Amino acid sequence: MNVSVILFTADLRLHDHPPLRAALDGSRQVVPLFVRDPAVDRAGFAAPNRLAFLADCLRDLDTGLRERGGRLVVRSGDVVEQVLKVVAEADADEVHLAADVSAHARHRETRLRRVLEEQGVRLHVHDTVTTAVPPGALSPAASDHFAVFTPYFRQWSREPIRDTLAAPRAVPVPDGVGSEPLPSRTAVTGLSDGLAPGGEQAGRSRLTAWLRDGITAYEDRHDDLAGDATSRLSPHLHFGTLSPVELVNRARRAGGGAGAEAFVRQLAWRDFHRQVLAARPEAASVDYRTRNDRWRSVPDEVEAWREGRTGYPVVDAAMRQLRHEGWMHNRGRLLTASFLTKTLYVDWRVGARHFLDLLVDGDVANNQLNWQWMAGTGTDSRPNRVLNPVTQAKRYDPDGTYVRRWVPELAHVEGPGVHEPWKLRGLDRAATDYPEPIVELSEGRARFLRGRGMAV
DNA sequence: TGCTTGTTCGA
DNA sequence: CGAACAAGC
């Protein structure tokens, strides 16, 4: 064999990378390729925060490849056309690609396979690059996929996980295959000021620190909003700068305590959502299990939610964290999603869209299916579950630190009283221009909605 | 072996 | 309340 092209997508790393390993084992030279496809922009998935993080990832990938004697080739245009061009320029006879589940990824794979076969070029699609357990590997007796997490997790836990692959020592890239300049983070406008840095190096440092300092306390502290004791590895999982297989292996070897187990369980949730989306690709935009909701159309309320001015401090704190960091604590994601879909009774697609516009880890499978879960149209076995924002605030931000961090209008209010500003008196009350609640609550839902929001 | 019924359990 | 699995026919 001669030359292989490796099409990098959501797997922007050199460690534990089966396509890269297979290509290097079978070929004299490889072309590491990334294609900036305008179809991704058109589909609305090119949010500034992710474009900036992606620019970091590509630079770091190029750096890693150069340390190994290679380089990254970046092209713009339709992904299939560009792969064909690079295959022709390099006279390649194989293309390697990571399997993925979004409609975009599946369409890309189908088109590539057809066009490459016409040219006599083999397409190799690799599992266990973007998931630890491949979608479709596990299924209950009566269906092609699991719709309930717990039985899925039982099987997932018994599934053998392959060994982590080392990063290659050398990556020989042929001359004469040109690259566009690498995109730069500074060229992206409209990104969050507190955005984390991207790239495999950044991801690996964070992972090492997490396994050393964070994971043991994960079970106890993961829901503590102010404690910020989650891994923050989600952007690296989204862009593939970290490998889910390596994360499972290293977390299990980290001692196997309750923290590590709880963390591995979250990685299983990620695989769970991927196997749902693989079986039901339309669930990215259609109710997985419809309850015939008649969602309200209330632009002013949605705008207040987006801007963090609902008058419910913990909701507003989380929405402002999202805008500032391009990231939100998972407990915040749950309670802000509950507020939009259950309290205001607004279509989950509106919320999912806003999250995808800002989240640096914005991921079709996780984002859409978690939104559906909270909206009651997904895989939740208790679809009527409503998270009361005040109860949630007192439970997960008991002294109000998280709210004071993100809502400066309330920074002067001490203690948990910050969660119910409408009860404040005297100076505390006078000193703030924080908005009144946009709706009054009854059992967590807007008062006038009581009894509605159920299936008809 | 394949289908129906019963039991358990759930971000 | 319904999904998943085990048992029963």
Residue A269 has pLDDT above 60, yes or no: yes
Q: Average of pLDDT values for A325-350?
A: 97
Mean residue pLDDT across chain A = 94
Residue A10 has pLDDT above 50, yes or no: yes
Residue A453 has pLDDT above 50, yes or no: no
Q: Is the CB of A156 under 7 A from strand B?
A: no
How far does the CA of A141 sit from the C1' of B2, in Å? Answer: 12
Write the CA distances from A74 to A20, A61, A91, A242, integer angstroms. Answer: 16, 11, 17, 21
The pair of three-digit structure tokens given for residue A49, joined into one six-digit string: 């925060």
pLDDT tens per residue, range A158-203: 999 999 999 999 999 999 999 999 999 999 999 999 999 999 999 9
pLDDT at A451: 52
Residue A454 has pLDDT above 50, yes or no: no
How far does the CA of A275 sit from the C1' of C2, in Å? Answer: 20
Confidence of residue A430 (pLDDT cuts 50, 70, 90): confident
Confidence of residue A1 (pLDDT cuts 50, 70, 90): low
How far does the CA of A142 sit from the C1' of C8, in Å? Answer: 18
Chain B: nucleotides below 7 Å from protein CB are 9-11
CB-count exposure of residue A127 (10 Å: 0-12, 13-18, 19+): middle
pTM, whole model, 2 decimals?
Answer: 0.96
pLDDT tens per residue, range A301-324: 999 999 999 999 999 999 999 999
Confidence of residue A256 (pLDDT cuts 50, 70, 90): low
Confidence of residue A372 (pLDDT cuts 50, 70, 90): very high
Distance CA A70, CA A175 (A): 10
pLDDT at A180: 98
pLDDT tens per residue, range A136-168: 999 988 888 999 999 999 999 999 999 999 999
How far does the CA of A143 sit from the C1' of B4, in Å? Answer: 17
Structural domains of chain A in order of their starting residue, each with its CATH number: 3-129 (3.40.50.620), 131-161+203-279 (1.25.40.80), 299-451 (1.10.579.10)
Percent of chain A with pLDDT over 70: 98
pLDDT at A428: 79
Distance CA A312, CA A304 (A): 11
Which residue's alpha carbon is at the shortest distance from the C1' of C2?
A381
Which residue's alpha carbon is at the shortest distance from the C1' of B8?
A151
pLDDT at A456: 32
Q: Average of pLDDT values for A84-95?
A: 97
Chain C: nucleotides below 7 Å from protein CB are 1-5
Which residues, in sequence order, are bridge partners of residue A16? none
pLDDT at A418: 96
The answer to whether A345 touches A446, Cβ cutoff 8 Å, is yes
Q: Supply φ then ψ for residue A95, to 5 degrees.
A: -130, 135
How far does the CA of A153 sit from the C1' of B1, in Å? Answer: 28
